[in-house]
Structure 1
Amino acid sequence: MALLKAVSYLESRSEVDKNRIGMAGSSWGGFFTTLMVGIDSRLKVGSCLYGTGNLQLGNAWWDGNSKNGREPPSAAERARWHNTLDPAWRLPTKKTPIAWFTGTNDQFYFLSGVMQTYDMAAGAKHLTLVPNWDHALPQVIHDESVMAWLDEHLQEKRRFPRVSPVEVKNDQGRLIARWKFAGDVEQADLIASYGEPGNWRGRYWHSFAATIEGGDCRAELPAGTLPCLVSGSVVSASGLRSSTRLARVDSQALGVTASIPVPAYDGCQEWGGFEAGQIAYLDRHHRGGQTRWVPRVSDDAIEGKHSAILEPGQTALPPILSTATVPHRFTCSLKADSPVEVIVQLGGEQRSFRIGTSWTEVQL
């Protein structure tokens, strides 16, 4: 009711054009923006940073780190939520433009819910997916993009490129992804995550550069024995990113032979080198309300420019991204001012290492 009254108040103001009222929100604000677009036709546009609908498909409060001891809802309770309280269920009845801007690994609003909510929207819609980011986004997307979508529909300033769905086909034994776009585009990429849907917070997303020719994008997708989810994106000169909805790809079904389940990757690559961009990644998440380790750095590094300083006591590393069902190996290099015993723990496994004054590689 408070939000409905807020729109009524804006309409009552003489300086407000009632035909140019929109709504934007972050996290729960995105949840309520999705809700209001489905309820209140007086809104001309909605722009959602993180928050979404279809929470019955998974969310932090029912299925993740914010359960606080609560039992997850039953299937019947989730169905009741979906058909009564969920903010997305009215979207098919409205033509109001709406956009969602999110990281692929958002721990609060799972990507499965974003995808289904996007599919339900009946009006003009937009999607921006940023691979391997949780409940935080780079500054240019966090600030500029959300407002740019409002400008596009309230001030008639078209800024976002439009994209067609991505398609992946067998092209002479190789998996080739193609999608089209309209608008001013400077670069394009394909993101892919191997394994069946699930493990939304922890799954790793590969990024593959795409070529642009006219209004067409093309990227090769490495084949894996595991199926994968893919999305194509284009980026404008001003940094505005437009993404396709996810598509599922099965190499075997397309007749492409694969010898490995997933291409090799570093599940710590977003932060594990402790260079300036990686520290910024940690800091953006920390500022976004997620307590993250943002280390002091040292110029004494085994590779690159920096290493992280581990303070005495216990240090909880940021999430290490992975692929379900596939064995992984954690590797790091350690050194100390004087010999010390270091315990490395990963899940239920831990090992003790004697670390000296030279760089020592340890694995788990």
Structure 2
Amino acid sequence: MTIRIAAIVFLTSIIYLPAQSQIKGTLWDVPAIYKTPAYETISSDSAIGIVYTGLNYRDTTQRVFAYYATPGTLSGNREGDHHLPAVVLVHGGGGTAFREWAILWAKKGYAAIAMDLRGNGPGRVHLENGFVEPGGKTPYFTITPSLEDQWMYQAVADVILAHNLLRSMPEVDSNRTAITGISWGGIITSLMAGVDDRYKAAVPVYGCGYLYENSAMKKELDLLATADRQTWVQQYDPSQYIGKAGMPVLFVNGTNDGHFYLDSYAKTYQLVRSRNLSIKVGLKHNHRYGWENEEVAGFINSYLNHTPPLAIIKKIAIKKNRVIASVQSSVPLSAAALHYTTDTAALLKDKQWQTVKVTVDKQMIQSPLPPAGTLLWFLTVIDERGMQTSSEIQFQPLRQ
């Protein structure tokens, strides 16, 4: 990679958020959050390395590293970048500013920004005046006397400021932005959907709310003092925010995700008015498996570029001992399936699932009833593009 150090660029025009922004009245309603952050370019390649200014942290201005990529940065000629749709990419636990993730979206015709929320720069080396992780471990749940010392507060602010910066880029259409995040980035994306209404679409992958009820994170929350636990939930659990989401949200998860269980997941998506689901049997959990789901780009494209939307499975009905569901899809459907589990394993993440191909014709699914003893079940369809969407998870025994 060619490294070219540039001076800090202080933007002369400060861009403020729309007056209706949901940020008003939240923890992040501070003057600096409504400005386009100053930034410096520290490397120039297919993805440009930048460092932008965050909020105050430890009596100084925090610095945040990110990669920024566009079709023009890939080709080496940015003169052709005009009115680009744009996406904010939020990494998960143990992650960083993934250069290849930003490039993946640039290849799709987007401007993309992928920031590091852990205080690190290129090569995961700590950035001067970046957030400090005690012992190199992200303090996800720390509640400190100073709000500015809390990781979740700073991480959310870093994402808002990255969005401000992305929208300020001259080649970006500021009215066509979306956000997607993986795992802990999915938690932040879920929160952000109810905090920053400038996005036109949001896709949390794996992440959800109600972490204090049933998730791998519940153990960590339960270690907190009662007052700190209540404070964290009130301040940061996505269930406190996502119900205010005005943009459409696609929820992507696996049936056996070891971090975000299906019951908390279902409670989260039910809070969102405009939602779609893509739940996959056996979907593995890591950054690459997360961002390789083509449904993410398919969903975002449909709202930012007006491409055909993902199929939506509508309300399920039981008629004459069969499952019937209508499907709304502008793309022909190629397959449908019933997924169910009769496994009585205590943990949702450990249950074994069965899949049965079912009939889909003229945008109508017809399926036999799941067998006796079924505990959870749902339907899926796949369109001719290979994109899969799901019905809502059915937790209750069938009643004819």
Shorter-chain TM band: 0.5 to 0.7
Partner of residue 77, structure 2: none
Cα deviation per residue 1:101-149 (whole Å; 9 max; x = unaligned)? Answer: 1111000111112111110012x21101111334259969834221111
Deviation at 1:196, TM superposition (A): 7.0
Change (3 A) 1:73 1:245: farther
Q: Is the 8 A contact 2:211 2:217 kept in 1?
A: no
Aligned to 2:336: 188
Question: In the alignment, is the contact (CA less than 8 A) between 1:130 and 1:137 conserved in 2?
Answer: no
Per-residue CA distance 1:68-125 (angstroms, 9 max, x = gap): xx85569997766544321232222231111111111000111112111110012x21
Q: What is the alpha-carbon distance in structure 2 between the residues aligned to residue 128 and residue 194 of structure 1?
A: 21
Quick one: which amino acid aligns to residue 188 of structure 1? A
Output the CA distance in 2 between the equivalents of 1:207 and 1:51: 24
Report the equivalent of 1:9: 165
Instruction: Give the direction of change, closer, same or farther, for the CA distance of 1:144–1:227 in structure 2 (3 Å limit).
Output: closer
The AA in structure 2 aligned to 1:109 is: F
Aligned to 1:147: 297
Among 184, 202, 205, the alignment partner of 1:46 is: 202
Q: Distance in 2 between matches of 1:215 and 1:75?
A: 50
Give the equivalent residue in structure 2 for 1:176: 322
Q: Is the aligned partner of 1:86 residue 2:237?
A: yes
Aligned structure 1 segments of 4 or more residues deviating by more than 6 angstroms: 73-79, 137-141
Letter in 1 for 2:371: A
Write the letter of the residue equivalent to 1:127. L
Take 1:104 and 1:2, find their aligned partners in 2: how far apart are those partners? 31
Q: Secondary structure at the match of 1:133?
A: coil
Q: Does 1:166 align with 2:313?
A: no
Tell me by how many angstroms 1:11 deviates.
Answer: 2.1
What SS does the corresponding residue of 2:170 show, helix, strand or coil? coil
Sort the Cα spacing of 1:200 and 1:81 in 2 relative to 1 into closer, same or farther, 3 A: farther
The answer to whether the Cα contact below 8 Å between 1:107 and 1:134 also exists between their aligned partners in 2 is no
Gap change, CA 1:197 and 1:87, over 3 Å in 2: farther
Bigger proportion of residues as helix: 2
Provide the rounded CA distance (Å) in 2 between the counterparts of 1:111 and 1:153.
26
CA distance in 1 between counterparts of 2:345 and 2:315 reads 19
Q: CA deviation at 1:248?
A: 2.9
Matched, 1:238 2:385: yes
The alignment status of 1:156 with 2:306, answered yes or no, reads yes
Q: Determine if contact 1:193/1:228 at 8 Å carries over to the other structure.
A: yes
| 2:368 maps to which of 220, 229, 242 | 220
- Flag structure 2 segments of 5+ consecutive residues without an equivalent: 1-156
1:116 match: 267
The 1-side partners of 2:336 and 2:288 are apart by 17
Structure 1 residues 78 and 105, CA gap change in structure 2 (3 angstroms):
farther
Does 1:59 find its partner at 2:59? no
Alpha-carbon distance change, 192 to 127 in structure 1, aligned in 2, over 3 angstroms: same
Closer, same or farther: CA 79–105 of 1 in aligned 2, 3 Å: farther
Aligned counterpart in structure 1 of residue 190 of structure 2, from 34, 39, 42: 34
Residue type of the alignment partner of 2:323: A
Counterpart CA distance in 2 for 1:250 and 1:198 is 17
Per the normalisation by structure 2, the TM-score is 0.55
SS of 2:173's partner is: coil
Contact 1:38 1:88 in 2 (8 A): no
Q: Aligned-residue CA RMSD in angstroms?
A: 2.8
8 Å CA contact 1:103, 1:137 repeated in 2: no
- Separation of aligned partners in 2, 1:19 and 1:197: 47
2:127 equivalent in structure 1: none
Amino acid at match of 1:194: T
Instruction: Tell me which residue corresponds to 1:200.
Output: 348
SS at match of 2:349: coil
AA at the equivalent of 1:232:
L
TM-score of the superposed pair, with normalisation by structure 1: 0.60
Structure 1 gap ranges (5+): 255-364
Asked which structure has the greater CA Rg, the reply is 1
CA distance in 2, matches of 1:74, 1:164: 43
In structure 1, C-alpha distance between the alignment counterparts of 2:378 and 2:229, rounded to whole Å: 28
Partner in structure 2 of residue 18 of structure 1? 174
Q: How many residues align?
A: 242
Distance change (3 Å), C-alpha of 1:160 and 1:167: same
SS class of match (1:57): coil
Cα distance 1:88–1:109, how it changes in 2: closer, same or farther (>3 A)?
same
